[in-house]
Amino acid sequence: MCPKNNFSLSDVVSASDFSRKDVEAVLSTASWLEKEDIKEKKKILHGFVVATLFFEPSTRTKLSFDTAAQNLGASVIGFADANVSSIKKGESLADTIRVVSDYADIIVMRHYIEGAARLAADVSKRPVINAGDGANQHPTQTLLDLYTINKVFGHIDGLTIGLFGDLRYGRTVHSLVQMLTLFDDVKLKLISPETLSLPDNV
């Protein structure tokens, strides 16, 4: 049985929504899942339906969520091309989310518009997980990064971490920087051309 934890969020939209306890709850559950027998894992979401709605091209993130849901016993519905949905006929994102939340227990969404995940969470009857919204946020990638860092070093507090490249439009960087502020004495080295520097609002 999955251990109880202190995760407090109903949606996973932005790194800024997380407390340190929320992050630690995810990391400890992920560690437990990594060691758990596959047959036991398939009982966790048995009978649940996970909708993966990808309005933007994706290979690794889409397949990762599909595989994770199936490994936990869930059925997966959704699309990887918005042109096959009623969006193509003019349906609004809000209406699409309302309809899908009648079919699914959890919605995982990637969208090219910043703020789309927050809108989806506001109108959905079910939990929404942000798999990337424009150049804004990618909180689940950050959780994976923190899990890897913690697994390699045994801790996150006190580390010096360098981030370089496109810091302005890289949503993974925005989420990672915000979540790292929850840990003690973490030093960040940000390296980029001035035109691609970290936005002031991150």
How big is the CA angle at 184 (ends 181 and 190), to the nearest 5 degrees?
50
110 is catalytic: yes
The single residue listed with the structure tokens 């990808």 is: 54
61 is catalytic: yes
Cβ atoms of 192 and 166 within 8 Å: the answer is yes
Element (H, E) at 106: strand 106-111
Pick the catalytic residue from 89, 160, 189, 195. Answer: 89
Pick the catalytic residue from 4, 60, 160, 195. Answer: 60
How big is the CA angle at 168 (ends 167 and 172), to the nearest 5 degrees?
55
Cβ atoms of 169 and 137 within 8 Å: the answer is no
Pick the catalytic residue from 126, 138, 171, 174. Answer: 138
138 is catalytic: yes
Cβ atoms of 72 and 45 within 8 Å: the answer is yes
What's the rounded Cα separation, in Å, for the pair 21 and 5? Answer: 9
Cβ atoms of 87 and 53 within 8 Å: the answer is no
- Counting every residue written for the chain, the total comes to 202
Q: Give which of 73, 26, 64 is closest to 45, Cα–Cα.
A: 73
41 is catalytic: no
Pick the catalytic residue from 52, 61, 140, 142. Answer: 61
Pick the catalytic residue from 41, 62, 110, 174. Answer: 110
Q: Catalytic residue positions?
A: 60-61, 89, 110, 138
